[in-house]
Structure 1
Amino acid sequence: MHAVVVGAGIIGLATAWRLKTSGWSVTIVDPDPAGGASRAAAGMLAPASEVVWGQTPLYPLLIASARLYPTFVEQLATASGHDLGYARSETLVCASDAADLQSLRELCALQTALGLTVEVITGTEARTLEPALAPGVAAAVRLEGDHSIDPRRVMSALMVLLAGSIVRHRVATLISDGGRTGGVSLANGQNMVADQVVVCAGAETALIEGMPELPVRRVWGDVVRLAVPERLRPIVSRTIRGFVRGRPVYLVPRPDGSLVLGASVREDGVDGISAGGVHQLLRDIERVVPGVLECEISEVMARARPGSPDDVPLIVRVDDGCVVSTGYFRHGILLAPLGAQLTADLTTGEPGDADMLRAVAPSRFAHVTPTGDS
C-alpha cells in the first residue's frame, strides 16, 4: 500500500514514519520540508502549563500525548542515531509582580482540578532555583512534568529515516475519481497516484484545490532565538514561562546554550515578522529574566499555525482515499506522537482510540459534517 503525505512539518513527518514502520510505502510532498510552523516552534512539552480556561476537550489529548513522548523519543533517537534535544528539566511559571499573581492562582486552581501536580513557591524560592529571575517575580509554579524538545532536531531525525521519500514540490490539487481521492497533482503538472492521500499541510491545507472546507484559521506567532554570551551561561536551566500584565511569555533553553523566546499570538494577516510583536516579547521577558537583553539576537521568524475554532486538532477521513490531519494550533509538537498515531490509524483502517477520534472529529461543530461539507 502506498500513501502520499502532503506536508513535511512534524505532524506529516511523524505520520509518514509511523506508516512506514507499519509496512506502507510513503511519499512526502512539500516544497520546503521542515520549514513551516514546526521550524519556528519552541518545543515545549507542556500538558500542564498549556492549560487555559475554556479548552476542556483539549486537556486529555495533551496529557495522553505527553505520556507517549518518552517512547516516541526513544524509538526515534534509536532508529535515527540523532540526539533530539529532549530535556526533562521542569518548567517554572512565574508571576512578574503581585498583580499577575492572581492569574497564576487561577491557573493553579484549574490545573489542580484536572488532577495535575503543581507546586506553588515564593519568588525567593524561585530565584534560588533560577538566580536570573527578576527581583520583582512574586511567585512561581513548579511543573515537574512539563519538559521540552528541539523540534528542528526531531524533524531532522525523521527526514533521515524518510530519506528518498520526500518530493520538494507543492501539491496543487487532489485527484478525485467518482468521489474518491486517488492521488495528487503537483504545481509542476506531475500527477501522483496513491492508495491513500494524507493531508498534513497545516495552515496551507485550504489552499489545496479539491479539499473539503474545514474550519481552520491562520494564527501567527513571532519567535526570537538568542545566543547567550559565555559569561552569562546558563541564564536559565529550566523552561521559564511568565505572566506579565496578563500576557504570557516563555523562554526555553537549548542544550547548546541558546534560548528561544516567544508566546505572541496574532491573527492580523501579516505574514512577516511583527515589529510590535517582537518588541512586546522583549519588553515582557525583561520583567521576568532581565539578563536576556544582554544576549545576541541570532534569528527572528514568524509562521502561521493552523487553528480550529476550539484549538483542538481536526483529524478526519474525508473520503475513502483521503485523511486530513490539521488544526493543531500551538500544540503540534506536543501532540505529534498522538496525532501521528490517530492519523495513521485512520489511514490504514485500524480501529484506533474511539474516544480520541471523536474528540478530534470536525463533526463536533454543528455546521460541519464528517466529510467536511457545510
Structure 2
Amino acid sequence: MLAAGAEAEPGEDALTRLTLESRAAWPAFAAALEAAGGRSVDLRRDGTLLIALSRDDVEALRRQQAFAAARNIELTWLSGREARHLEPALAPRVAGALLSPHDGQVDNRHVVTALLAAAQAAGADVRPHCPVTALDVDGGRVAGVRCGDTLQPADLVVLAAGAWSRELAGLPAAARPPVRPVKGQMLALRMDPEAPLLRHVVWTPTSYLVPRRDGRLLVGATVEESGFDRRVTAGGLLGLLDGAWRALPGIEELPLDEIWTGLRPTARDDAPILGDSGLPGLVLATGHHRNGVLLLPVTADRLAAQILTGQPDPLLAPWSLARFAADRQAPEPAA
C-alpha cells in the first residue's frame, strides 16, 4: 500500500514528509522499473478509503482529517451513502469515510520480480543459493562478506536484511541497527477479477483490505511482538476475518486463497535506518517497519545517489543510525 496520506499520524511529521516524498516518486520509479525489468508492478492510484463503523470511529476520522488538513494532506470526507456509492459492497452500517485520493498500491510480489529482472539486466550478479553468513571486517573497515566459507571482497556493503539486519555475524556492536521483527499475519480471499467485490484499498477500524487485479483480496494484518515466530494462529486469522466481515459482509462467500506471515523490520522509533553506519564501508537500509514498499523509491534512489556522490542527502539525514547514539547503552531489543 502506498498510503502516505491515510497513515499520517501525530508525532511523525518528519516521517510523513519522507513517505509523501516517496509516494510522489512511485509513478516515475514504477515506469523506470518496468522498462528496465520488462515486468509490470501493477501500480494503481485509486486512493485509500478509511471507513467508520461507529460514532467513535466517525469522531476519530474527523480528528484525523483535521490533523491532515493542518499539514496540507488531502483527505475528503464522505458520508456513509457516498462511501457505499463508491464501494457498493460495504456494509450498511458504514457511517462515514475519509478518501485519501492520492494514495495507491503496487503488487509487492511483482515489484520483487521486476527488481530482480532489472538488476540482472543491469549486470548484477545475483546469488540466491549463496546466502551471506557474515560481514568481513579488516583493519576497522568492511572488506567484504562471507557466503559460507567463501569471501566476497567488496569496497562497500549495503545491509538491507530486513528483520535479520542485526543478526549478521561479524557486525560490530556499534554498527548493529536496533531492529527487531514484528510479526504480521495475513490472508488472501479470491474474488472474481471481472466483477471484484472491492476496488479501493479500504481501512477498517481493525484491519485493511487490498484488492488485486488478479482477483485476490488481501486482508491484513496483525501486529505481534513474537520474535521470529512465523506460525499462523487461529486467533490472528479470526481477528482479521471478523474485522473485514464487519466492513464487507460479502467476504463470507469468497474462497480462502492463501494465508501467511511476514516479519516487519522495526526500529525503536518505528522509522527507517538509512545511510552511514559509523563503520567505514557499511551502509544501512533497514528498519522500514510497515513502510518498506512505500519507501522503496526514496530508499533506492536517494541512498544510491548519496553513495555515488559522497554528498549527504538532507532528506535522509534524520534517519541515520546516529539518532540512537544516546541510548546505545540501553538493553538490546528482544529477538
Question: Do the structures match in fold with TM over 0.5?
Answer: yes
Counterpart in 1 of 2:200? Answer: 238
- Of 26, 35, 47, 1:78 maps to 35
Matched, 1:361 2:320: yes
CA distance in 2, matches of 1:58, 1:266: 22
CA distance in 2, matches of 1:124, 1:178: 67
CA distance in 2, matches of 1:107, 1:282: 25
CA distance in 2, matches of 1:144, 1:240: 12
CA distance in 1, matches of 2:84, 2:154: 56
Count how many residue pairs are aligned between Structure 1 and Structure 2: 320
Q: Which amino acid aligns with 2:244?
A: I
Q: Which amino acid aligns with 1:348?
A: L
Matched, 1:255 2:213: yes
Counterpart in 2 of 1:141? Answer: 98
Counterpart in 2 of 1:173? Answer: 134
Q: Which amino acid aligns with 2:191?
A: V
Q: Which amino acid aligns with 2:199?
A: S
SS in 1 for 2:55: coil
- Of 153, 163, 186, 1:223 maps to 186
Deviations 1:244-301 (A, max 9, x none): xxx3x11111111221111321113332123211110100011111111211111111
Q: Which runs of 4+ in 1 moved over 6 A?
A: none
CA distance in 1, matches of 2:56, 2:316: 40
SS in 1 for 2:83: helix
Superposition RMSD in Å:
1.8
Counterpart in 2 of 1:46? Answer: 3
Counterpart in 1 of 2:151? Answer: 191
Counterpart in 2 of 1:210? Answer: 170
Distance 1:180 1:360, change over 3 A: same
CA distance in 2, matches of 1:278, 1:54: 31
Counterpart in 2 of 1:32? Answer: none
SS in 2 for 1:100: helix
* Cα drift, residue 366 of structure 1: 4.4
* Cα drift, residue 61 of structure 1: 0.5
Q: Which amino acid aligns with 1:320?
A: P
Would you say the 8 A contact 2:49–2:201 is kept in 1? yes
- Of 63, 66, 69, 1:109 maps to 66
The unaligned stretches of length 5 or more in structure 2 are none
Q: Could you say which structure has the greater relative contact order, defined with CA pairs below 8 angstroms and 6 or more residues apart?
A: 1
CA distance in 1, matches of 2:220, 2:37: 29
Counterpart in 2 of 1:10? Answer: none
CA distance in 2, matches of 1:76, 1:368: 39
Would you say the 8 A contact 2:37–2:116 is kept in 1? no
Would you say the 8 A contact 2:306–2:313 is kept in 1? no
SS in 2 for 1:331: coil
Counterpart in 2 of 1:17? Answer: none
CA distance in 2, matches of 1:229, 1:149: 19
Would you say the 8 A contact 2:183–2:223 is kept in 1? yes
CA distance in 1, matches of 2:139, 2:327: 22
Q: Which amino acid aligns with 1:61?
A: L
* Cα drift, residue 101 of structure 1: 1.3
Counterpart in 1 of 2:301? Answer: 341
The unaligned stretches of length 5 or more in structure 1 are 1-43
Deviations 1:162-212 (A, max 9, x none): 2362112221211111010010012x2111001111110010111101222
Would you say the 8 A contact 1:323–1:346 is kept in 2? no
* Cα drift, residue 352 of structure 1: 4.3
Matched, 1:98 2:68: no
TM-score w.r.t. length of structure 1: 0.82
Q: Which amino acid aligns with 2:89?
A: A
CA distance in 2, matches of 1:357, 1:82: 29
CA distance in 1, matches of 2:237, 2:307: 40
- Of 93, 101, 108, 1:151 maps to 108
TM-score w.r.t. length of structure 2: 0.91
- Of 277, 293, 305, 2:252 maps to 293
CA distance in 2, matches of 1:184, 1:97: 54
- Of 82, 86, 93, 1:125 maps to 82
Would you say the 8 A contact 1:215–1:308 is kept in 2? yes
Counterpart in 2 of 1:14? Answer: none
